[in-house]
Amino acid sequence: MSERRSSLWADVVLNLAILTVITVVLNAVLLWRLGQGREQALRADLASELSRSFAVRLGGVADSIGPPDPTRPGPWRDALRAADVPGGTNPFVVVVNSGVRPVATLGPLPSGVEDTEKGLQSWVLEGIDVRAAIAGNQIERGEWTVKDSLFAGQVHAVATAPVSDLGGRVIGAVRVALPVGVPLIGPVDRRTLPVFGVITLLSAVGMGLFGFALFRRRILLPIGELERGTRELAGGHFEVRLGSDAANELGALAGQFDALALALETYRARNDQQVSDLKRINEDLQRTRKELVFAEKMATVGRLAAGVAHEVGNPLASIIGFVDLLDQDDDGSLKEDFLPRIRKELDRIHHIIRELLSYARPTENTAEELDTVDIAAPLDAARRLIEVQPRFKAVSFDEQVDPGLPRVIANEPRLQQVLLNLYVNAAEAMSLGGRIRTRAFQPETAPDVVQVEVQDEGPGLPPHVASHVFEPFFTTKDVGEGTGLGLSVSLRLMEGMNGSLTFREPAFAPEDSMMVGGATFVITLPVAPAETD
């Protein structure tokens, strides 16, 4: 099962949206934290001014009723309410006596502070600014943060001013706390938090859609075209072109792809042309080869024709003589004697001409014409064509075919042509006559082949000649006596039958070989598979 892959489009849009949200949030936090710092400084100044104002008013009250007393909070609460507080500030004010005990308060109690005397006392004592203001008889600033949660708590700017009587003695203090904002987000009202979330979401969606459109046009579509073109190119459609005009790396990549496709298309066209040319050349070579094979056969036939004519001339002369005698035989007494003789001579002529025509008949050499052949048949046919030649009367054959030889895969007419060529060359090499020794056997070291050795008793071939005997048009005969194609054509014929034709020097003859001296050629053919019932 193939591994599932996510879409590149989805990856780009998702990552862009996440990046946008993170960027918006970080920028908002950064800006609001900067604003919070500015706001906190302003709130601290305002808290200081309010604490000073409240301290002055409370000092006048103390001249009338004495120092702040927790048991009499009313006058002090009234004095706080009567003070002039700027609109929108909403401060929390607490008055304490010199013992740092709360006396009266004004404004909403900050969240996180228990609405009890103990809770308020604890809130006052936590502030170092209260004790410092009473001890130092001066206004002290501070900061207080509610610890109830990350987003619900608030940062407060606090300031404490000492309350003094007419004699300048510190009789208490007034502490003012102004909310600055929520932690992390900064000086923003809680009612704006949903608005902030909606704006962030809309920003992410807007940036995602913009990025999707931009990435789709500039990146995703070119990549998709490149993927499509690569798929078509892999399918063999080399005419595909992308034609991208993008002035970036993808445009350059598309240009390189088009160049590659053009090069492959040109290479395929050139390769097709070369294949066509090679096919035509191969057909010409096959036709020329067939013509050379037939021409060599006709040359051999021409050399044999004179001997055949002489061999046919003798029985024809006998037949003519018998016919003349029969023409003069009025009583028919010679008919019974001469007619069988005439039949015998005519059969002799017919046999010679039939073998010559069978050899001269053109045949095709294809793999489909290969058949299983008894090696003795072409050996016997080639030998008979040589034996009827008057010029080879001094040549005899010493033929040995090992008993039980398997049949071979060959083309019998072609194999006969090769053997006849070797016999003619061997007979012509022995100008004064001699024996042509042939042996068909199955080598012990190669039981899958059958070999035929053809050896004459001539002078043999010197090394500088033996290395060229299979080259076309190479001959040791006089001009006009040979074409130099016999052995070359014979070698091609043997290769066409999946066999071989080699020249072997006497020094390399096997120990059990009878072929020593003269020139020896070895034919090798594959053994035919055993026939099954």
Q: What domains sit in the chain, N to C, each tagged with a CATH number? A: 8-198 (3.30.450.20), 266-362 (1.10.287), 369-526 (3.30.565.10)
Measure the CA–CA gap between 479 and 483, rounded to whole angstroms.
9
pLDDT tops 90 at residue 524: yes
pLDDT in tens, 463-495: 777 767 777 655 666 544 555 567 777 888 888
Rounded-to-integer distance, Cα 220 and Cα 218, Å: 6
Residue predicted with more confidence, 423 or 83:
423
How far apart CA 280 and CA 300 sit, in angstroms, is: 30
Mean pLDDT on 488-516: 71
Which of 196-205, 461-470, 503-512 has the highest average model confidence (pLDDT)? Answer: 461-470
Q: Given a cut of 90, is residue 170 above it in pLDDT?
A: no
Contact (CB, 8 A) for 424 and 303? yes
Q: Which residue, among 183, 181, 160, has the nearest Cα to 172 in the 3D structure?
A: 160
22-46 pLDDT, tens digit each: 777 766 666 665 555 666 777 888 8
- Residue 10, pLDDT > 80, answer no
The predicted structure's pLDDT at residue 523: 94
Position with higher pLDDT, 364 vs 393: 393
**Residue range 321-337: average pLDDT?**
71
Mean pLDDT in residue range 369-398 = 85
| Mean pLDDT, residues 267-290 taken together | 84
CA gyration radius, the chain: 62
More confident residue, 485 or 286: 286
Identify the weakest region by mean pLDDT among 114-118, 160-164, 367-371, 461-465.
367-371
Residues 251 and 221: their CA atoms lie apart, in Å, by 11
Strand arrangement of the beta sheet that strand 140-145 belongs to: 102-106, 92-97, 170-181, 155-164, 140-145
According to the model, what pLDDT value does residue 267 have?
Answer: 83
Q: Can you give the length of the chain in residues?
A: 533
Q: What is the mean pLDDT of residues 43-67?
A: 84
Q: Which is more confidently placed, 133 or 506?
A: 133
Mean pLDDT of the residues in the chain:
75
pLDDT at residue 533 is higher than 60:
no
**In the predicted model, what is the mean pLDDT of residues 332-339?**
71
- Give the separation between CA 412 and CA 369, rounded to whole angstroms: 9
What single-letter amino acid sits at 243? Answer: G
Query: Which of 300-309, 319-328, 421-430 has the lowest average pLDDT?
Result: 300-309
Residue 525: per-residue pLDDT = 94
Q: Does residue 407 have a pLDDT over 90? A: yes
In this predicted structure, the answer to whether residue 341 has a pLDDT above a threshold of 90 is no
Q: Which helix (H) or strand (E) holds 522?
A: strand 520-526
- Cα–Cα distance, 103 to 174 (Å, whole number): 10
* pLDDT mean over 6-25: 66
Token couple for 114: 């228990």
Provide the percentage of residues in the chain whose pLDDT is more than 90: 8
Q: Can you tell me the distance from the alpha carbon of 318 to that of 353, in angstroms, rounded to the nearest whole number? A: 17
| Predicted local distance difference test score (pLDDT) of residue 183 | 46
The residue with greater pLDDT, 97 or 299, is: 97
Residues 173 and 96: beta-carbon distance below 8 Å? yes
The reported pLDDT for the residue numbered 479 is: 43
Least confident residue range of 245-259, 269-283, 300-314, 454-468: 300-314
Distance, CA of 91 to CA of 50 (rounded, Å): 9
| Position 246 confidence tier, pLDDT thresholds 50, 70, 90 | low
The long-range contacts involving 52-58, CB below 8 angstroms and separated by at least 24 positions, are: 52/139, 52/161, 53/83, 53/84, 54/80, 54/83, 54/93, 54/95, 54/161, 54/174, 54/176, 55/161, 55/162, 55/163, 55/164, 55/173, 55/174, 57/82, 57/83, 58/95, 58/163, 58/172, 58/174
For residue 232, pLDDT beyond 50: yes
Res 293 pLDDT > 70 = no
Helix, strand or coil, per DSSP, at residue 102: strand
Q: Given this model, what pLDDT does residue 406 score?
A: 93
How much of the chain exceeds pLDDT 70, in percent?
67
